[in-house]
């Protein structure tokens, strides 16, 4: 079967994906999204548009959009379960699971009503969030991220680079993260797919600095101090790239 033929396969129904008897309400309503709309209507709760998606032919999901991000719901195949993830781009605000469609609808209602993460967890103990999400909600995602990098025991070998970079205001105002022992910087904490600057120790006496996708910025320097100075010089270019 060709790739085109695979892509053209019909979306699988609930009964074709999960164990029989787990979701009679979804079968009766005609799918996950219609069932969510049905429950919301019965509870007189406005949750906005609910769209059913199919990530692949073995999973049935739905999503509910809001000004605070996307709430995705995935159904369990072996047991009745609605897995919930609230995200903004690649960033996850909160997650949890319940066997009740009413719980899902009420979580959506609360999130769309701008409840705090703490209040969300108080109302719905099956939901959870981490310190990263808390720092975003507090309006300190960049400061919180620096603190987490400094405290990470796996990054002891990069501590000098981290502290030297943080001492420079131009870099301290960027969102840092470490991937494959490379220190990376982005402008927008919510969008890791945007313009990225990297500082990569490649040998005992060499560090590479570059803005990814801009080959003319790639340089190798002999020390941490030199790498930080070059990164500071590139920071304005990174900011301009992030605005595009």
- Following DSSP, what letter does each residue of the chain receive, concatenated? --HHHHHTSPPPPHHHHS-TTS-HHHHHHTSHHHHHHHHHHHTT-----EEEE-SSTT--EEEEEETTEEEEEEE-SSS--EEEEEEETTEEEEEEEES-HHHHHHHHHHHHTT--HHHHHHH-TTEE--HHHHHHHTT-HHHHHHHHHHH-GGGGGGHHHHHHHHTSHHHHTSEEEEETTEEEEES-TT-TTS-EEEEEEEETTEEEEEETTEEEEEEEESSHHHHHHHHHHHHHHHHHHHH-
| Domain spans in the chain, listed from the N-terminal domain onward | 3-137, 141-243
Query: What is the chain's pLDDT, residue by residue, as a tens digit (244 residues)?
Result: 343 333 333 445 666 667 778 999 998 998 899 999 999 999 999 999 998 875 544 457 899 999 888 999 999 988 999 999 999 877 889 999 999 999 999 999 999 999 999 999 999 999 999 888 999 898 899 999 999 999 999 999 999 999 999 999 999 999 999 999 999 999 988 777 779 999 999 977 899 999 998 999 999 999 999 999 999 999 999 988 755 5
């Amino acid at each position: 079967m060709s790739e085109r033929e695979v892509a053209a396969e019909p979306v699988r129904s609930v009964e074709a994906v999960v164990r029989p008897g787990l979701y009679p309400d979804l079968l009766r309503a005609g799918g996950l999204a219609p069932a969510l709309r049905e429950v919301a209507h019965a509870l007189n709760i406005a949750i906005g548009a609910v769209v059913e998606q199919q990530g692949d032919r073995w999973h049935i999901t739905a999503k509910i959009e809001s000004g605070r991000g996307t709430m995705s719901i995935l159904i369990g195949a072996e047991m009745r379960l609605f897995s919930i993830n609230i995200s903004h781009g690649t960033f996850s605000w909160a997650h949890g699971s319940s066997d009740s469609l009413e719980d899902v609808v009420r979580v959506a209602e609360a999130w769309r009503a701008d409840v705090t993460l703490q209040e969300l967890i108080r109302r719905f103990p099956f939901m959870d969030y981490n310190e990263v999400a808390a720092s975003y909600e507090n309006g300190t995602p960049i400061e919180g991220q620096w603190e987490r990098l400094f405290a990470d025991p796996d990054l002891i070998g990069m501590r000098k680079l981290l502290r030297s970079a943080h001492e420079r205001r131009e870099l301290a105002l960027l969102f840092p993260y470490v991937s494959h022992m490379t220190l990376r910087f982005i402008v927008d904490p919510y969008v890791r797919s945007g313009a990225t600057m990297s500082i990569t120790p490649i040998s005992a006496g060499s560090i590479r600095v570059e803005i990814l996708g801009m080959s003319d910025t790639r340089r190798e320097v002999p020390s941490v101090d030199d790498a930080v100075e070059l990164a500071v010089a590139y920071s304005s270019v990174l900011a301009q790239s992030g605005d595009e």
